[in-house]
Chains A and B, each alone.
Chain A
Amino acid sequence: MVKDFTFATAMYESGDWESAPLLPGCVIDALARYTSLSIAPMGVNVALGSPEIFNFPFVWLTGHLPVRFTDQERKNLKQYVERGGFMMIDDHNHDQDGIFHKTMTEELTRTFGPLKEVPKTHELYHCFFEFSDGPPATVAELSGWGDQLVHKELHAVMPQGDRIGLLYSLKDYSSEWNMHPDTKQFSTVDPTRFGVNMIVYALTR
């Protein structure tokens, strides 16, 4: 039985997981516009510490506040990534000195070891839309908010070869894509195209 792709947002005990409520709809809209994937019209929220997380091939996780995973959350995250899931973690602060970044990278390093840089030649940037310069810059970066840096690369956990199991971003796509889908019509280029790449990569690679 073919099951619709459902965009899942991870709920975790610490911090503010619910900080980008409009993002799922915005990405789902982009997926419908550019792919023929069978998609659920609404996203779901799934607890990182629950076994239900394993029902979703792609999970979005974001927040501003300090993150401390519980033992169960950490165990599930490790299993999820190692068993073929794709976890996208985005720093909603877009700030290298931000508390989310510091605490989250500590948690990830503790769980998986140091994150690896994703090269521009990686399939993630070419599997659907072409992003030859790597990850697209966000308004937050270009406006000089947060750490006033345009982060040139993303980092990842690659449990097998170069397959990405966990993608970590300081670019704040959570702010960039946290809008009503119809708002995108005012943009010259659909800003959520990179989200399509992420999900296509997660589902096909």
Chain B
Amino acid sequence: MTAFERVQRTKRVLSVIIGSGAIFWAAAAVFATLIVGALLVAFVALPAASGLIVRLLAGLAGIGTLAYLLYRGRFAWSFPRVALWIEERAPELRYALVTAVDPRYAESMGPLMEPVVSKVDTGPFVRNAAVRAVLPGLGALVFTALIFGFMPTRIKSGINVGNLFSIKPPAPTIMGNRLTPLDATMTPPAYANLREQHLKEPSTITGLMGSHVVIRGDGEPDGITAVLQANDTTKKSVPVTADGNGWKIVMNFTDSIPAALTLKDAHPSRTKVYERMIVIDPRVDEAPTAKLLLPVRDTTLRTITGTLSLSADVNDDIGIAKAQFTYIVARMTEEEKAQVDSGVLVSQNFGGSRSGHLTFSIPYSKLPLAEGALLSVRAVVWDNNTLYGPRIGYSETRTIRIATKAEYDSLAVNPAPPSADTAMQTLRMLIIATEKLDKQKGKMERKKFIDSSYKLAGVAETIKQKVQRILDDQTGGGEVEANPLLQTALDAMFDATRSLMIAETGEAIPSLYKAFYALRDYSKAKKYYLRGKIQVEPVNIDRVRLAGKDSVKAMARKARPLDEADRTKLTADYASAIRALKSSPDSAVQIMTLMRVETLRKYPDLANALGDAVTAIQAKKDPALPLTTARQALNGQVGTLHTIPMWSGAW
């Protein structure tokens, strides 16, 4: 290596060493400025833009330090200065190196100087220079960086450290209540196809389950906490994050239980703590409903003919996805086993509309029906809740029975027997005619009287035959015992007919009345519809009383909590709120908000009144009326005393 090359290499190394040292010191200066600036911003009341100023100052400090150090080490860029720097550290060279690299003497003296120059090792000088120039800067950088790194975020946030090189100013430091004003944006779940809602200063946020809610406020997020409390025991912290120049909370309505969101503003630079509560009121998507319009009622078919017409109205609070008519055909087989067929008759999509109409017709012959079968049909409707559904609604079920030929309740399917009622109508007229004729006995010509009575006997004979037919139908042609009322009527009609045939109207009348009353009682008799044979087995209680042999081990009864227990607690809470109303309205609002959360589902009237009261207090209006309504809702119905109360002496 020639002397020229040796100096050239040392120059390069020194440049790097001086440059690195300058960069390290410059970075350390930046961190040091940031540390000082952050401390000032955090603990001294400075203007809102002070964070930006600190960042600018830090940049200037870094650039200045870099420039200064580079200027101070500028000899490293000069070839002769580097040669002299080596000569200075190796006196044994006796300017041999300077002479060897001087262009004026290099050509003539260079070769003579090379042996002297080559004996000197420049490595130790350079290493010493590197240690002195780089290590202090590196140490300062590590030190300041560590201090800055371990600095609390709430202090660093004052200079917007997360956005160090941004020209955008940090969130303004608000020394007052950062919990007002508040804005909330409630985005319903996509399936609901509802509009986004924007709420100003919300005290309650109501939305469908699955909604996305963002609550925004002004100021930096430091010191703001949010806790969601569903009941006395369950508390969940909600993260508060920066949002442009403010803060925000993002929540999803995942639960159906109302909850209180407690926001707390406890800024580290202040002693005053602000608190605000918001009622979170998630609403559940209701199940859709179906109302079956056709068939109107259950019925029995004797034969499998005709058409089954179905019609239903379907409704939902959000939107209907589809609706179907479904059927079940059930029948008992000969082996006494239930055989069931089921299926869908028709399915229709409603594309999210809130109401619709479903109709369908099918011949009975196309259904898997048989004698004795029970056909059950109903409408089923699904809503379009894709988030935690779908929810399903069912209509009433109509049952259509197919009669069997051999079933014992044949009254329903066989031709009806002659009605006892029509026999009674005719009989009543016969009695009136007979009584009229009897009154004319002796006044009327005898032959004419006999002819008239004979005619009435003919009518009586017709009625007698009608009763006989009813009796035959009832007894199955004499196989079972006759109904005694029908038998009485038949016997009486026999007597009346005979008396009228021989013109003994006076004797006929009592028999006609007897038959009439018997038929009337028969027609009024209760008709029973027996579905099956119930084998009633009376137990001989006395024989078996306390004769059991198995050992009994009964546990003691436990007292059941009173159903009104929650109302008692609410009454106590209400009293606390009223006590706190004058001295600390915020506390009263807090108590009433928590009460509201508890009562939203069970006592909605009370919850509404409490909500009105909270709104009135916050608006600094008179809350007397909603508070009175709340007290009335809390106490329930006004009671009445059944005794005269003792005189109180008050009047």
A-to-B contact residues, CB < 8 Å:
11, 13-14, 16-18, 21-22, 24-25, 28-30, 32-34, 36, 39, 41-43, 45, 64-66, 68, 70-71, 93, 99, 103, 106, 110, 123, 126-130, 160-161, 163, 180-181, 189-190, 193, 200, 204-205
Contacts and interface: CB of A to CB of B under 8 A. Distances in A.
A71 B539 contact: no
A24 B535 CA distance: 10
A36 B330 contact: no
Given A42-B539, A128-B554, A161 B560 contact: yes
Contacts of A29: 539, 544
A123 B590 CA distance: 40
Contact of B555 (A14, A17, A93, A123): A123
Nearest to B561: A161
A16 B548 contact: no
A161 B338 CA distance: 38
Interface string B320-342: 00000000101000000010100
B328 A99 contact: yes
A18 B532 contact: yes
Interface string B537-555: 1111100111111101111
B492 to A, nearest CB: 37
Interface in B547-599: 547-550, 552-555, 557-558, 560-561, 563
14 contacts: A14-B399, A21-B533, A30-B548, A32-B539, A34-B550, A64-B338, A66-B376, A68-B378, A70-B396, A130-B553, A180-B537, A190-B550, A193-B550, A205-B557
Contacts of B531: 11, 16-18
Given A68-B397, A68-B399, A99-B330, A41 B540 contact: yes
A125 B596 CA distance: 38
A99 B535 contact: no
The 3 A-B residue pairs with the shortest CB-CB distance in the complex, in nearest-first order = A68-B397, A33-B548, A25-B537
B553 A22 contact: no
A204 B560 CA distance: 12
A161 B540 CA distance: 38
Interface string B395-406: 011010000000
A127 B554 contact: yes
A70 B397 CA distance: 8
Contacts of B399: 13-14, 68
Given A99-B328, A99-B340, A42 B374 contact: no
A82 B328 CA distance: 31
B50 to A, nearest CB: 59
A33 B544 contact: yes
A11 B399 CA distance: 16
B534 interface: yes
Contacts of A163: 560
B375 to A, nearest CB: 10
A136 B512 CA distance: 67
A61 to B, nearest CB: 15
B338 A127 contact: no
A34 B548 CA distance: 5
B536 interface: yes
Contacts of B378: 68
A123 B465 CA distance: 68
Given A39-B541, A68-B376, A99-B330, 5 more contacts: A36-B546, A42-B537, A129-B553, A130-B555, A190-B548
A110 B394 contact: yes
Given A14-B397, A43-B536, A99-B338, A66 B330 contact: yes
A42 B550 contact: no
B555 A22 contact: no
A71 B550 CA distance: 43
A25 B340 contact: no
Interface centre among B536, B539, B553 (most CB of A within 10 A): B539
A11 B557 CA distance: 32
A14 B532 contact: no
Contact of A14 (B376, B535, B538, B550): B376
A139 B28 CA distance: 85
A66 B560 contact: no
Nearest to A44: B536
Contacts of A93: 338
A21 B534 contact: yes
A22 B533 CA distance: 11
A129 to B, nearest CB: 6
B579 to A, nearest CB: 31
Contacts of A110: 394
B539 A28 contact: yes
Contacts of A18: 531-534
Contacts of A106: 394
B228 to A, nearest CB: 25
